[in-house]
Amino acid sequence: MEDEISIPTNDEKYNIIQKILAIHTEDELTKLIDNDPFFSKYGDWEPVAGDITNIRFIGNQKITAVGTLTELLVNSIDSLLMLGCIKTGKNPNEEGVPKSMKEASELYYGIPNGNIRNCFPKGRLDQTGTWTKLSLNVKTMNGVPITELAGNINMIFLGSEKGNHNTIIIYDKGMGQSPQKFKDSFLYYQKDNKLNIPFVQGKYAMGATGVFPRCGLKKYVFILSTKHPDVCGPAEKNKWGFTIIRKNNSILTKLDFFEYLCVKGEEKRIFSFPSKLIPNAVSGNMYDDNKQTTLTRGIELGTYIKLFDFDIGVWGIKNMMDMFDLQLYDPVLPIRYDDGTVKKGKRQSWYLLGAETRFLMRKLIHPDYIEGIKIQFEIQYGIKF
């Protein structure tokens, strides 16, 4: 007689989530998986996409740190644009939807022509202009500050004792996924599920798996998501799914492959539980002097991806922001970028607006900046503008 499969309670699933959220290193997660009875009692591991040769595809994606993370950010932008479309009552795959990302950005989020630079005030800013002042002046057509809109997509770097290996959180307030859709989205890499949507960029669903190879030795990625309450059915509302991806160095098959955590049983279901709020999910950049710790905030919707011990390469976190501005030269939505690695009282937040917009910002604050660049190019390269 087959052994009866144990089913975890919602409290047990909620508690294991809180444990995962509280740890920020690969070593800590390995200890949790090896020692917490939740995983041995209720969990199983299944190859990503059901394919033990999946490393052929996952290992062949973009290999630079900025490149793989950019794919995730593009997915988040796509998710926000699709959410905006569905909230108007339209199917993103049908006729009558925006024909480009820029058109969708203006229609759903009030960014003129989808160019963030068009949100800037006309004329010169005070030379003492800072992000605080810009947050008051740079707004969408709907009157929403760009810095507030950037809170829909967050990239957070956490502290590390392993040099250039930092745990990174990517969190967005977009469409999200119901637990039963994980296998067709986060855990699949060949599905063209956005191919017929004209106003998105990441059409081949490669972004989520592209980051796996740059994570630590175990390649841990934690994913937590729920379908946005404005676009889900009653049965999906406040229902969260979660999984962990890791690399399996199999002795039996003599193959390395990526696998994900699932519920024991033939169906290999994704763990799910109901909750209106996931507390302590996102590390903030505000320091609590009384508690001597960084404040955290909860999440109520969207997708949360945690990359353990991600190899950021030789750039360093601050320099990576400049690289992101080049990769996303003219993004249709702003992104918040938090550096949680610095010491007390020095935590910083920036906003990824793209190199084109940042160039304009410098021009507004320092009108002579652009002229200086033009002269430099003319002298060094003989290029006249």
- Candidates 27, 50, 46; CA nearest to 308 is 27
Nearby residues of 6 by Cβ (< 8 Å), 6 or more positions away: 41, 42, 264
Lowest model confidence (mean pLDDT) among 123-127, 143-147, 184-188:
123-127
Confidence check: pLDDT of 371 > 80: no
Residue 381 in any domain: the answer is no
CB burial of residue 177 (10 Å; 0-12, 13-18, 19+): buried
Domain assignment of residue 141, given as a range:
10-361
CB environment 64-87: b (16+ within 10 A), e (fewer):
ebbebbbbbbbbbbbbbbbbbbbe
pLDDT at position 292: 44
Report the pLDDT value the prediction gives residue 341, as an integer from 0 to 100.
Answer: 72
Task: Record the tokens describing residue 130, joined without a space.
Answer: 């800072």
Q: Residue 380 domain-assigned?
A: no
- The whole-number pLDDT of residue 67 equals 86
Structure tokens at 264: 């024991």
pLDDT classification of 132: cutoffs 50, 70, 90: very low
Q: For residue 38, is it within any domain?
A: yes
CB-based contact 156:171 (threshold 8 Å)? yes
351 inside domain: yes
pTM (two decimals)? 0.88
- Total domain count for the chain? 1
pLDDT in tens, 221-257: 999 999 999 999 999 999 999 999 999 987 776 789 9
Give the SS3 label for residue 19.
helix
Positive or negative torsion for Cα 76, 11, 264, 218: positive
In-domain check, residue 369: no
pLDDT-based confidence at residue 116 (cuts at 50, 70, 90): very high
Answer whether residue 382 is part of any domain. Answer: no
Q: What pLDDT shows up at residue 81?
A: 98
| Alpha carbons 56 and 213: distance in angstroms, whole number | 11
370 within some domain: no
**Contact (Cβ atoms closer than 8 angstroms) between residue 362 and residue 104:** no
376 domain residue, yes or no: no
